[in-house]
């Protein structure tokens, strides 16, 4: 998962030298291991996983792949339904946190380190292939979409939950953009996955969509509006790495003020009890 990325080739470099893609993915892992993303899930993201599992109609006996699963926010509820689940992610630290969560929940599932752009799974291997605000952060959207289709059996279900470009998280990335390093050529903005037209273009006639629905996650976990931004600065890898880049350019104070103003503008509650609405696109379709 990442906002700044480019893939060139999956082949190994000469004499063991890492390829550009390998170097890129190493930076991805470092970014998502920074801070404390697992605690963010626990703080306000937990409802999203079950919502995606419900929309995908996961049932006992199904073979389910969760791509860019993180800590298993969708994987674990799918396993609790009795499905046979593989949770894959690029970042080992997130998988380790997911294993702990699964153990606490009393469910068994497989955890696999994997790149969403080059999934190490056979074609037609799963009844349900899903991703909850995960695969959207891989840089090359078409490669990800192609892989999601490849590993899903014909007649199987592909389900995605993605932040929208015009929603609060899309606006957060636009706020951080001027302080971040320029994205490599070929990298697409993650919130594009929350655009209906973009999703249709990625999958074409390979998937028949039954659901393209915008929903809102209401967040009331923060007492004061600025607590939202402080939470992201302390725990969210993309925010942490962007602020570090801004600090290197002596713009961290400017970054902090921009983020604080973003939180004030986005607050739909009061100064004593903040409330935010995070828009996402729920996408479910059948592989043709």
Question: What digits encode the pLDDT tens for the residues 148-187?
Answer: 999 999 999 999 999 999 999 999 999 999 999 888 778 8
Confidence of residue 17 (pLDDT cuts 50, 70, 90): confident
By DSSP bridging, strand 276-287 and strand 152-163 are antiparallel
Check whether 44 has a pLDDT greater than 80. yes
Task: Name the pTM for this structure.
Answer: 0.93
Q: What is the mean pLDDT of residues 275-288?
A: 98
Domains of the chain: 17-167+179-218+280-287 (3.40.50.150)
Using a pLDDT cut of 70, give the percent of the chain over it. Answer: 95
Check whether 2 has a pLDDT greater than 60. no
Confidence of residue 18 (pLDDT cuts 50, 70, 90): confident
Task: For 231-262, give one letter per residue: b (16+ CB within 10 A) or e.
Answer: bbbebbbbbbbbbebbeeeeebeebbebbeeb
Confidence of residue 16 (pLDDT cuts 50, 70, 90): confident
pLDDT in tens, 247-271: 999 999 999 999 999 999 999 999 9
Confidence of residue 135 (pLDDT cuts 50, 70, 90): very high
Nearest-angstrom CA–CA distance, 52 and 46: 11
Instruction: Retrieve residue 62's tokens.
Output: 């199904």
More confident residue, 260 or 18: 260
Which of the 8 DSSP states describes residue 44?
Answer: I
Per-residue CA distances from 173 to 103, 163, 190, 242, 252 (Å): 34, 11, 9, 10, 16
Confidence of residue 7 (pLDDT cuts 50, 70, 90): very low
Q: What is the pLDDT of residue 117?
A: 97
H or E segment at 214? strand 207-219
Nearest-angstrom CA–CA distance, 108 and 131: 19
């Amino acid at each position: 998962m990442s906002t700044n990325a480019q893939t060139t080739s999956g082949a190994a470099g000469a004499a063991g030298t890492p390829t550009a893609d390998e170097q890129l993915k190493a930076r991805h892992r470092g970014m998502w291991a920074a801070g404390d993303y697992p605690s963010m899930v626990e703080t306000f993201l937990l409802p999203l996983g079950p919502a995606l599992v419900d929309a995908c109609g996961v049932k006992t006996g199904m073979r389910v792949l969760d791509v860019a699963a993180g800590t298993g926010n969708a994987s674990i509820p799918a396993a609790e339904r009795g499905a046979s689940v593989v949770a894959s992610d690029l970042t080992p630290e997130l998988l380790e946190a997911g294993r702990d969560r699964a153990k606490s929940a009393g469910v068994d599932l497989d955890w696999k380190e994997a790149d969403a752009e080059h999934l190490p799974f056979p074609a037609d291997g799963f009844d349900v292939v899903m991703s909850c605000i995960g695969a959207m952060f891989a840089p090359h959207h078409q490669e990800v979409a192609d892989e999601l289709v490849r590993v899903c059996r014909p007649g199987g279900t592909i389900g995605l939950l993605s932040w929208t470009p015009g929603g609060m998280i899309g606006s957060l990335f636009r706020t951080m953009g001027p302080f971040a390093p320029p994205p490599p050529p070929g990298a697409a903005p993650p919130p594009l996955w929350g655009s209906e037209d973009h999703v249709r273009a990625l999958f074409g006639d390979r998937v028949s969509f039954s659901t393209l629905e915008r929903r809102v996650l209401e967040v009331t976990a923060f007492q004061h509006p600025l607590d939202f931004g402080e939470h992201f600065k302390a725990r969210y890898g993309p925010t942490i790495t962007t602020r570090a880049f801004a600090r290197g350019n002596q713009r961290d104070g400017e970054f902090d003020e921009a983020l604080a103003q973003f939180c004030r503008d986005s607050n739909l509650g009061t100064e004593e009890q903040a409330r935010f609405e995070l828009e996402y696109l729920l996408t479910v379709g059948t592989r043709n």
